Each structure stands twice: as structure tokens, then as C-alpha cells.
Amino acid sequence: MRKRYDKAFKAKVALEALKGEKTLQELATTYAVHPNMIALWKKQVMEHASMVFEKEGKEKASEEAERQKDELYKQIGQLQVENDYLKKKFKQLYGTEPKW
């Protein structure tokens, strides 16, 4: 069975690895984690470190925009279905396509 580590533990170990005070092997022994895992966590911290300094407003704004976009697509789909239904009923009642 695989071990699962929480975010705080991963961050703690990765930051210690970034400090460079101990080798990966020493950290692996201390925390009972494979050295490759520590190297991977260290790499992930380095790649995503810039996200720490992003403004929260950007995330919230993008999430809000995405939610609003989804809502609009939902409305468009519903209106298309209603429009097709009304065209069909118009043709059934009057025998011709609507002229608009």
C-alpha cells in the first residue's frame, strides 16, 4: 500500500532540501521517505514557487469568469433548444417555416 503524505509535510521536507544543509539521503533517513520523492518535491516547489506571489484576486476573478462563462453556455444551449421547439411547432401549425 502506498504512503500518502500531506501538503504540509511535503513542503517542510522540500524546503529543508532547498536549504541544502543536509543531503537528500540524510533527509530521507530522517523523515523515512525515499530520496527520489524528496527530489521530486524539491523540483515541484521550485517550479511552482512563483504561484506563491500571485494575487488572490486573479484566482478569484478567473474562477468567477469561468463560472459565468459556464452559466452563459448553459443559457445559450437552453435557448437553442427552445428556438428549435418553437420552429417545429410553428411549422406544424402553419405549414411553413417562420420568416425571420
Mean pLDDT of 87-99: 89
Rounded-to-integer distance, Cα 60 and Cα 53, Å? 15
Is 70 exceeded by the pLDDT of residue 58? no
Q: Are residues 1 and 43 in the same domain?
A: yes
Q: Is the pLDDT of residue 56 over 70?
A: no
Q: What's the whole-number mean pLDDT along residues 69-89?
A: 95
62 against 79, higher pLDDT: 79
Statement to judge: residues 11 and 36 lie in one domain: yes
- What is the 3-state secondary structure of the chain? CCCCCCHHHHHHHHHHHHHCCCCHHHHHHHHCCCHHHHHHHHHHHHHCHHHHHCCHHHHHHHHHHHHHHHHHHHHHHHHHHHHHHHHHHHHHHHCCCCCC
22, pLDDT greater than 90: yes
Query: Domain limits at 21?
Result: 1-53
pTM of structure: 0.54
Question: Which pLDDT score, from 0 to 100, does residue 53 have?
Answer: 78
pLDDT of residue 57: 65
Tell me, yes or no, whether 38 and 63 share the same domain: no
* Identity at 65, one-letter amino acid code: A
Residues 66 and 43 in one domain: no
